[in-house]
A = this chain, B = another copy of it.
Amino acid sequence: MKDFLKVVSTDNVMDYLSCFSKMGTEHISINNVFNRILGEDIFSDNNLPGFKRATMDGYAINAGSSFGASESNPAYLIIKGSILMGQVPDFSIGPGEAARISTGGMLPEGADSVVMIEHTEMLDNTNIEVYKSVAPGQHIVDKGEDFKKGEKILCKGRRINAPEIGLLGAYGRDMVKVYKKPKIAIISTGDEIVPINQVPKMGQVRDINTYTLAGLVTGAGAEPSILGIVRDDYNSLLDKCTDALNNTDMVLLSGGSSMGMRDFTLEIISALPKSEVLVHGVSISPGKPTILAKSGEKAVWGLPGHVVSAMIVFKTLVRPFVEYISGLMPEYARILKLPAKLSRNLSSAQGRVDYVRVRVIKKQDGFWAEPVLGKSGLLNTIIKADGLVEIGLNVEGLDKGEDVEVIVL
């Protein structure tokens, strides 16, 4: 089998991103937008704030009235009135005058700054001393200083986190246009696989891959659609795949670890409507036998049967495709690479990218990446790991102490 693989690089795989169509959009409540992808550019339909606001408690004044004021030479001002929160002041102030104001209050006509309450003293109900001069614009936010009317404030394809939700709220977007969440079908194959609620007989194993992949899909912001286990049988798998393509936006096949099954996978993918095998073999380890095909505008992946390999292939290859169809623009993908130093030498074969599981350890001089030893098929190695270190295509190995980037798991 191995000889038939036309192995391509991970970069080659990414060239196929644009073969697939992005999800449509929908309008959902602002209460549910966390971690969703914005489906339109958002423009400011008004100045934010809509008026000159105090950012400190104190007195709204015309800055000129405070010039030269100091502890030893205070300025004397007359209190013209108090600003009520949420109200338009019904008076204006002139030179030598002040208005009591709280943080968030609207400045009266004639005021251009706020002197902090700490820098004043009340002499009586209508007179204050000011001990410090303020500059025009100090301790206030001007109308439109945060965002101006007409400005683009958020871009389509941005992931919506807390600050974005706040901004959507500020602009009254109680319904938000977002990309629909992709539904990703997960199909596990193999005669040795049993559902997790069964006790496996000798020779059988529980369906670990389905649940691991479901977790990865959820973590990528998509919705897993668990389609169960298919026996090593051409027709059952073809039916299941056809079904998956009709009801979901991407298909992940995993397992099929028997030799015959792997032949099936390729045959079946070729038998799907409007299908084309794009990638059959990637120069990564683990994960070499990965398949990427398209059926219409949907991606069908054949993932390695080893769960750890499947996880690594998902993180490094599948996830960017999930994000792409989710509408996420690459510039808004999370920073997931942590600089660290390698704790021991690592060797690698040239001509392929190796992913080594590492534990990240914080020491006095920064983060260290400590390779997790153990056979690649073992789940315990990934349970112990915090991330992956990539050893590049044309690198023979990495030295102890070398700077590496850890792909955080």
Chain A residues at the B interface, C-beta cutoff of 8 Å: 1-2, 30-31, 34-35, 48-51, 53, 55, 57, 84-88, 102-106, 117-118, 141, 145-147, 153-154, 160-174, 190-194, 196-216, 218-219, 226, 232, 257-261, 305-307, 311, 335, 338-339, 360, 366-367, 375, 377-380, 382-383, 386, 403, 408-409
Identical subunits present: 2
Given A211-B30, A306-B103, A192:B383 Cβ within 8 A:
no
Tell me, in angstroms, the Cα distance from A377 to B137 when the chains sit together.
13
Contact of A202 (CB < 8 Å), options: B106, B171, B197, B379:
B106
Closest to A258 in B: B102
Evaluate contact between B146 and A311: CB separation under 8 angstroms: no
Q: Which of A201, A259, A261 has the most CB of B within 10 A?
A: A259
The 6 closest A-B pairs by CB, nearest first: A162-B215, A166-B212, A86-B192, A169-B211, A165-B215, A102-B258
> Is B2 within 8 A of A85, CB to CB?
no
Q: Nearest chain-B residue to A199 (Cβ)?
A: B172
A170-B106 Cα distance, complex, nearest whole Å: 61
Are B85 and A192 touching (Cβ within 8 A)?
Answer: yes
Interchain CB contact under 8 A, B311 and A163: yes
Q: Residues of B contacting A105 with CB < 8 Å?
A: 192, 203, 258
Closest-CB distance, A195 to chain B (whole angstroms) = 9
B contact residues around A210 at 8 Å (CB): 169
Known pairs A88-B202, A104-B257; A212 contacts B172 (CB<8 A) = no
